């Protein structure tokens, strides 16, 4: 077994038995579940809205090359510079080069999963640049030296008491502060960082092709400050974030807010279409947009998996997943966790190293049921398993076991020849993983055929 897979299994085993973890997650996910229906009420037909969003993303992704070039042409006209990065290293090098040119010592960063994907903070630290997370959840995680736990709510696994304790340990505040007081402490620290920072980095929730702009949604205003306060603004975004037109935001913004946090629309919704223009008073002198591939074109090339690029990162599939809720976000050891992470990570990285994530699913389909853009997530998880086997990424023992299973299942007589105790022995001893996590199986003494015959004869 690969190291990643055995790590995943040992961490999952510990987390699944951690009742305190489960209590906190259930508390926060229950709060989410209670507000999402309210957000949905703004749509006259929520299913139609999801279908329409899926169609729009389909249109954008099927024409990805043209849409991206259109975006580049339009935003360049307004003075932004577009940088194409094939992989994480190219993106990091580009950021480093800009930071050097701008003599950057402190950088403020708003929440961005793409920057987690390329491990930007570690890279900046090695290069002597202080990178400060300005989203409250991300700031908490950074203080604690932990990566985000969830793609929308980074500190979802922490209670307010945990945060008060953390602030007390790291910032010397009163350990009994309320959430409001803690927020004010973070606000004070972060405001000073905005003033110091030479560069601000944000992600993009959407890249808009027809007007050449990025759209950012948030609830704290920190992304807007990161865009506008420092003299240089760098956007790092995956190429799949493209949408064809500004008018599409009328659908995507409320949809993302509803499925992300149960809101009608987030508190701050910002469109940035370039650096400060002549006659404008606010905004940065320079704006760079880094369009990151980093494995996304592998997904694009795979006709079946392509629809995973429609994802708008609302996080709904994580909240709905029984596996995620039990093993938690950090167990995945990837930037993107939960069902969508399990679908895309083997393609963004290596199938052989990450295929185990696609097996960590009951295939209950709850993720597909709740997906804001109707991605067939559970089918894609199954497809990943097919691809892993087709590419030879399965062990000899596993292949043999399934071969024998298939032979047995195709021959009723063989199945009937073995009595209940033989079947018990095979399943409980040869299929070791089964017994370890689920308890022993006890087959009936008589086969189904025998039982049927005794009851109904040869009907």
Beta bridge partners of 289: 82, 235
CB of 183 to ligand SF4, least distance (A): 26
Outline where DSSP puts E strands in 203-295: 206-208, 213-218, 232-238, 242-243, 268-272, 286-292
CA dihedral 111, 81, 229, 311 (to 10 degrees): -20
Of 124 and 312, the one with the shorter C-beta distance to ligand SF4 is 312
Closest approach, Cβ 57 to ligand SF4, in A, equals 9
Which residue, 283 or 365, is less far from ligand SF4 as judged by CB? 365
Structure tokens at 416: 């009937």
Nearer to ligand SF4, 80 or 380 (CB): 380
Coil, strand or helix at 272: strand
Nearer to ligand SF4, 88 or 256 (CB): 256
Which residue's CB is nearer to ligand SF4, number 150 or number 355?
150
CB of 33 to ligand SF4, least distance (A): 14
Q: Read out DSSP for 183-199?
A: HHHHHHHHHHHHHH-SE
Angle at 439 between CA 437 and CA 442, to 5 degrees: 140
Between residues 138 and 307, which has the closer beta carbon with respect to ligand SF4? Answer: 307
How far apart (Å, rounded) are the C-alpha atoms in residues 314 and 438? 32
What's the min distance (Å) between Cβ of 50 and ligand SF4? 9
Q: Which residues of 4-28 are buried (b: 16+ CB within 10 A; e: fewer)?
A: bbeebbebbeebbeeeebeebbeeb
Residue number with CB closer to ligand SF4 (163 or 243): 243
Q: How far is the CB of 53 from ligand SF4 (least distance, A)?
A: 9
Q: In 3D, which of 270, 288, 153 has the Cα closest to residue 216?
A: 270
| Shortest Å, Cβ 367 to ligand SF4 | 7
Instruction: Please give the radius of gyration of the chain, using alpha carbons only, rounded to the nearest integer.
Output: 25
Where on the chain is the footprint of ligand SF4 (CB under 6 A)? 259, 311-317, 340, 370-373, 375, 377
Least distance in angstroms from the C-beta of 113 to ligand SF4:
10
């Amino acid at each position: 077994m690969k190291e990643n897979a055995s790590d995943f299994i040992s961490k999952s085993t510990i987390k699944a038995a951690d009742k305190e973890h489960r209590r906190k997650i259930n508390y926060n996910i229950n709060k989410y579940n209670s507000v999402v229906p309210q957000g949905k009420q703004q749509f006259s037909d929520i299913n139609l809205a999801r279908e329409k969003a899926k169609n729009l993303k389909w249109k954008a992704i099927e024409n990805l090359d043209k849409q991206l070039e259109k975006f580049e042409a339009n935003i360049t006209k307004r003075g932004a510079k577009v940088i194409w990065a094939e992989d994480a290293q190219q993106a990091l090098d580009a950021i480093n080069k800009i930071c050097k040119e701008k003599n950057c010592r402190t950088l403020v960063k708003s929440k961005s999963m793409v920057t987690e994907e390329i491990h930007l903070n570690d890279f900046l630290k090695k290069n002597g640049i202080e990178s400060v997370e300005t989203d409250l959840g991300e700031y908490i995680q950074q203080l604690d030296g932990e990566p985000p736990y969830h793609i929308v709510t980074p500190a979802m696994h922490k209670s307010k008491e945990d945060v008060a304790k953390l602030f007390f340990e790291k910032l010397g505040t009163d350990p009994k502060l309320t959430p409001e007081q803690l927020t004010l402490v973070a606000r004070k620290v972060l405001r000073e960082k905005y003033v110091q920072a030479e560069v601000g980095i944000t992600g993009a929730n959407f890249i808009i092709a027809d007007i050449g702009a990025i759209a950012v949604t948030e609830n704290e205003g920190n992304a807007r400050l990161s865009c506008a306060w420092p003299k240089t603004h760098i956007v790092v975004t995956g190429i799949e974030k493209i949408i064809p037109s500004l008018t599409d935001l009328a659908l995507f913004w409320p949809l993302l807010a509803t499925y992300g946090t149960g809101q009608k629309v987030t508190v701050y919704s910002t469109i940035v279409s370039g650096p400060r223009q002549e006659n404008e008073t606010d905004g940065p002198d320079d704006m760079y947009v880094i369009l990151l591939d980093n494995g996304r074109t592998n997904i694009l090339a795979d006709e079946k998996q392509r629809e995973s690029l429609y994802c708008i990162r609302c996080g709904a599939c994580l909240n709905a997943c029984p596996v995620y809720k039990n093993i938690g976000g950090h167990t995945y050891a990837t930037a993107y966790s939960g069902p969508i992470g399990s679908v895309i990570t083997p393609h963004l990285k290596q199938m052989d190293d990450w295929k185990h994530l696609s097996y960590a699913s009951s295939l209950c389909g709850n993720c597909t049921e709740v997906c804001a853009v109707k991605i067939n997530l559970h089918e894609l998880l199954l497809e990943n398993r097919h691809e892993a086997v087709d590419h030879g990424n399965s062990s000899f023992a596993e292949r043999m076991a399934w071969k024998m299973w298939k032979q047995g299942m195709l021959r009723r007589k063989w199945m009937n020849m073995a009595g209940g105790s033989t079947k018990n022995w095979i399943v409980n001893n040869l299929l070791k993983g089964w017994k370890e996590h689920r308890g022993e199986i006890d087959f009936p003494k008589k086969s189904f055929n025998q039982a049927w015959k005794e009851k109904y004869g040869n009907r």
